[in-house]
Structure 1
Amino acid sequence: MKLFRAALLATALSLPLAAGAAYAATPADALVIAQNIDDIVALDPAQAYEFSAGEINTNVYDRLVQYEAEDTSKLVGGIAESWEADDANKSITFTIRDAKFASGNPVRAEDVLYSFKRVVTLNLTPAFILTQLGWTPENIDEMVTVDGNTVTVKWDGDFASAFVLNVLAARPASIVDEVLVSQHVEGEDWGNAWLNTNSAGSGPFVMTDYRPAELVRLTANENYFRGVPAMKQILIRHVAEAATQQLLLTSGDVDIAKNLTPDQISGLGDNVKVETYPQAAVHFLSFNQKTDSLTNPAVWEAARYLVDYDGMTETFLKGQMEKHQAFWPKGFPGSYDETPFTYDVEKAKQILADAGVETPINVTLDVINSTPFTDIAQSLQAGFAEAGINFEILPGTGAQVITKYRERTHQAMLLYWGPDFMDPHSNAKAFAYNSDNSDANYQATTTWRNAWAVPAEMNDEVNAALAEPDQAKRNELYIDLQKKVQAESPIVIMFQAALTIAMANNVEGYVNGATSDFVYYRLVTKN
């Protein structure tokens, strides 16, 4: 009977999901997930930039170095068994471990060069993460060199090797099987079309089936150098409706549901457990310094005491966000996790009065017209009004709000920010650096978009942290920068996003780090 039910499940998962379809219990060696995966545009690591694509890439590819499932806060060797950094000469030499791709082909130093060269040459969306090292199609063969089973990576810029290692742990630095990919090249595409529906990695799983907005099937890689995963298959089913996900989970037809609402989470039965995972995105309120009434630092300081942090995170944001007041998310080296500000209207009033700030201050607040952003905006509107700062909420589509932000035409803005790769410089540059505040010098940072001319000494500290070779000192610099931005800037960081996931009680070992690039299935077991 168990074999029959497992076969029935496999058959059902190969067909489109129909309303009211009946499923059998999931097999012991397969993890079945209900998830909205219609965000996937590309799966080639040289092009993939969406959340769901990042999750799949992490489970089918290795990088030279990577944050691993056992401890997502520690950078460890991937296909590199060791490395030696030479900050003075701006280089790192990696020794490649004895490993195989899922195809059976050996992982070679030449595969590393090939992988980096195709990212830089294709120059698709995530390529900037690697090209910031000074790599171009013209110089890549000089910047990345192969000698036997070693690869030497060079860079051009005042970067610490710790920063470069984090760059090389990012998604576009995934290592692909040159021999396999070369068999599927079409014209000048470097195998891009084929890699968007297939995989060519050395990670714990291989992608054996992908149907857009329907199904992703991962199969255990029998050649994986850390051992074959317990789950022989990972089946990610596209289920857009949260209510359907809830039904499939509670009936035992899937093991994990990833997109349930707080109300649905609270209504789950005894056979389901709920886990909350902090995410990398930080949510903030910011004030455009082109608006005269918002330039007094006392307004920035008072604002920090007019946010009802606890009131929001304990009610409508419960399970979605947690209080966090620094620009680098907790859970990674260099984070500052103290939350010194609380909702205190009288203190805010006193700060404004002591500085001679005249109230009322009337200001527009741009916000994405969807939950929970509109709910946050209404809470802010109520709290700030108590101190004479009156928000007129201007809801808009995400595109409208972000376009206005980029044009610096807003007054106050409610938005969020996530790092492009897991190095604190990614956020330090966004929240603590702006050396040229002119309108003509467009920068994709919160500082420039809010027209905040960052003090020169803070700009210098950001550059110093980027170049600092000692990791402990580097982390100290980032913590100091977070304290300064937290204490005195027109950007009020309020929350860190959280992801609540429901799963069957018998599922153990699922790992969900701060971004989709840190979702791991390798350690999953079923009791």
Structure 2
Amino acid sequence: MGKRLLAVLLALVVVLAGCVKTKSDVSGEKDGGETKGGGGSDKVTIELLGTSAGEEDMNIVRDQLIKNGFDVKLNIQPDYGSFKAQRDAGNYDIALSSWTTVTGNPDYAVRSLFKSDGDNSNINDSVVDELIEKASTETPDEFKETYKQLEQQIVGEKAYIAPLYISFKAQGVNKDVLNPDTVRLAKSRAIAWETIDFKDASKRDADALITQQAIGSLTSLDPIKGNDGSINTLNTNMYVRLVNLTDDDQVVSEGSLSYNYAIGEGNKDYYFILRDDINFAKVADGKAVDTGERVGADDVVFSLNRAKDRDSVPDHRTYSLHESMKNIEVVTDLAELEDAKLSSGEGSVLEALGEGLESDITELVGDKTAADSSAGKYQVVKVTTNEPFPQVLNYLAHQSAGIVSKKQVESINTYDVAAFDVNKDIPYGDQRTVTEGASYDNHLYASGPYILLKKNDYQADFVKNPAYRAGSEFEPKISSVTVRFIEDADSALSALRNGEIHLFNGVPETKYELVENDDKLVLQKNDSNAVTYLLFNASDRDVAKSENLRKAVLYSINQDEFLNYYQGNKKKAYSTVSPLVDTGNELVADPAKVKQFLADYQAE
């Protein structure tokens, strides 16, 4: 989702950061996890968990807390896996965390993180739940005030998080190898590989596009089972969706499975007319081959039903993004489209779906093999939401709404979900099936422009889907893509400057000048929806019990010091909503408040 919490970003992920030993002497540091000072000190000790990638931020937070009368213990983990183990064990008071809203809508920025039943939530607050649900049914003009109240509850009233900053999004491109004009940098969605081309187009088949990501252990190649920096970009490029986001977060059909989409009157019915020029790819004899199976309406219905069903797979990590969908069905009655009015009040759904098509819509078919756009025979899928909810379109553009093969997934996932044994059962998308060695047995079916061929500890190799939009502008330009696993940002930047990789998505703000001053590189920069914040332990330690202690930490945070450190290449944040809705909320450091809240905490 994710991520830091996401060095990739992308999107959506959340990547949290953590560690075991401190890299510097910190006053009051203890081996234990107590939050109140010990060893003769009357200071409160706060344990800050993060990864080595976030050490600069951790040092700034440490210094601010010490300045406000705390003792600080740094718990710096070398990678996300060890950080997660520390976090799951509760070995922290605050954890350096990050979230990128890869769908471009504010509901996604809060639902998973803060709703009581959210996939990544450690909060249980009925007021928060009510405000999230209220905002989800409102238009942008209406939801601004609701999100303002929500932010105040999460931050100012309860201090469930302490915001640090909003990041920019930047990537370095080797312009001697790639044509920079073909490399996209979207505000929200993960980078799309199919548009990228070499400066010398004759190299498309002979050479690989070489890029990188920080995380090498892949959560899952089943799009609904992961929402983090390990798979957001990979699954985005492996599975087509009903709609996409433009680089500035507008929902469109371009580059998706639909020719057009339409919103019915009342904002509860959403119609999609499907393309008939995409087949699933599979891997055979070390190559990507056309399965001959078209990506159709039955696959869409299957994929979205399992996306919204919490119990469709074990460890479902994205169901809360899709709970707004009540029903997904194939429409075969042309009269329904003629009678259905658009939400705008002007025209019918049939007119909207038929705009710009090669042939007029003369028939709707249920069988995907009978679809033939040249003859006017189309498939239409209708999504109905529980309540009016236009933001459902943003979720349908997310990688977790990627379309999988109903036939293939059902043939692999034969286990009993309730009795799933991670040591015995091999689910669809398990990284073991694509990892080189004895476990390799690639069972993936890709509906998108690329398919993962194989991976090891150092890289993942992708090849183009030969049956994806062949002959169109969306057919992948480059035949193969190699994703190198480089966790450290400085190492990734060095690899870019040395020509070992061609594209580095995630150039640190403090390194912009190195890229800009390199004659063979170009720096691409955009706003992003990535927010870094401190997450409080909600199940253990005194910070879970004491609002006063959390607020003392909150008002110790001076965001200006982060902006100065990053040379102005950060923005102030109040919550994960900040990049999307201007609520006017702002966190202002206040030592006097810190002193009072600490005194109130000590008196508890």
> When the two structures are superposed, what TM-score results if normalisation uses the length of structure 1?
0.49
Q: Which has the higher contact order (CA 8 A, sep 6+)?
A: 2
